[in-house]
């Protein structure tokens, strides 16, 4: 099977400080990769480089595109990269406000992404927006409400609907349950797990919460000081950690 994403020797520096360095891995269709580590470990820098939000200093991020096969996204033209981000890629922010248009209705937020890939029929767009709101447990009668009228958990579910409506093949998630109450987190995680399996999504999830990766991720990378110190199947890494830093994370001696 051809990898959906191939990352080779990715590195990003901030002057003399290492953001991330020497990161290489393959991600296959339908696979979910978790990335964990304490604050400053480099996990968010890595995700930003992978998603095209931050230019790395070296490395390759090769995506198996629909039309042209494997392409290094770092050498794509800006229009090509923007189209990729509207179609095959999606990014779920930790803070839903960063991924939503707060002055646009819930239905408009979902519909906007559809229009970006060519949808034009108002009735079809609205019907699909209502369908997706239902899939993320938002009532149809809230379709014309603006996101600021929603709770934090509802805003995050709306952001997920906005991102997934176009059927992307790869979703980047940055602390998707961060800042939410525990009960809201559990509901959101169940929703995410169902959507990932149902749609056969590939995903890369950055989090400090080991419960999140145990529930969602097939494989796990542990980062410290900008480097991957351990990786493998999620259950294997969490149940039998080999690296001392991973052992600290798992035993919760180290507060993350």
pLDDT at 159: 95
Confidence (pTM)? 0.93
pLDDT at 67: 84
pLDDT at 187: 87
pLDDT at 256: 43
116-125 contacts at long range (C-beta below 8 A, 24 or more positions apart): 116/86, 116/166, 117/86, 117/87, 117/166
Run means of pLDDT, 10 residues per run, the chain, 256 residues: 96 96 97 94 96 96 93 95 92 94 95 87 92 94 96 94 94 90 88 92 94 94 97 97 94 56
In sequence order, what are the residues at sequence separation of 6 or more whose Cβ sits closer than 8 angstroms to the Cβ of residue 190?
none
Q: Where are the domains of the chain?
A: 1-88+170-256, 96-167
What are the DSSP calls for 59-108, one per residue?
EEEEEEETTTEEEEGGGS-HHHHHHHHHTTEEEE-SSGGGTS-TTS-HHH
| Domain 1-88+170-256 -> CATH class | alpha beta
pLDDT at 182: 84
Q: What tokens were used for 108?
A: 């408009």
pLDDT at 183: 84
């Amino acid at each position: 099977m051809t990898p959906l994403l191939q990352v080779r020797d990715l590195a990003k520096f901030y002057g003399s400080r290492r953001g991330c360095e020497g990161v290489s891995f393959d991600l296959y269709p339908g696979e979910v990769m978790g990335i964990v580590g304490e604050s400053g470990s480099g996990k968010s820098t890595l995700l930003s480089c992978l998603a095209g939000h931050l230019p790395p200093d070296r490395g390759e991020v090769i995506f198996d595109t629909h039309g042209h096969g494997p392409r290094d996204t770092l050498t794509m033209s800006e229009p090509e990269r923007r189209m990729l981000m509207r179609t095959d890629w999606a990014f779920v922010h930790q803070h839903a406000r960063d991924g939503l248009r707060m002055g646009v209705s819930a239905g408009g937020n979902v519909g906007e992404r559809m229009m970006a890939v060519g949808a034009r029929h108002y009735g079809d767009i609205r019907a699909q927006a209502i369908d997706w709101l239902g899939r993320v447990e938002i009532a149809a009668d809230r379709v014309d409400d603006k996101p600021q009228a929603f709770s934090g958990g509802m805003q995050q579910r709306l952001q997920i609907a906005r991102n997934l409506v176009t059927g992307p093949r790869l979703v980047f998630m940055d602390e998707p349950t961060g800042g939410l109450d525990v009960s809201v987190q559990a509901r959101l995680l169940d929703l995410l797990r169902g959507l990932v399996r149902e749609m056969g999504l590939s995903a890369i999830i950055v989090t400090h919460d080991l419960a999140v990766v145990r529930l969602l991720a097939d494989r796990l990378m542990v980062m410290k000081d900008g480097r991957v110190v351990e990786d493998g199947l999620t259950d294997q890494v969490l149940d039998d950690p080999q690296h001392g830093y991973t052992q600290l994370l798992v035993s919760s001696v180290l507060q993350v």
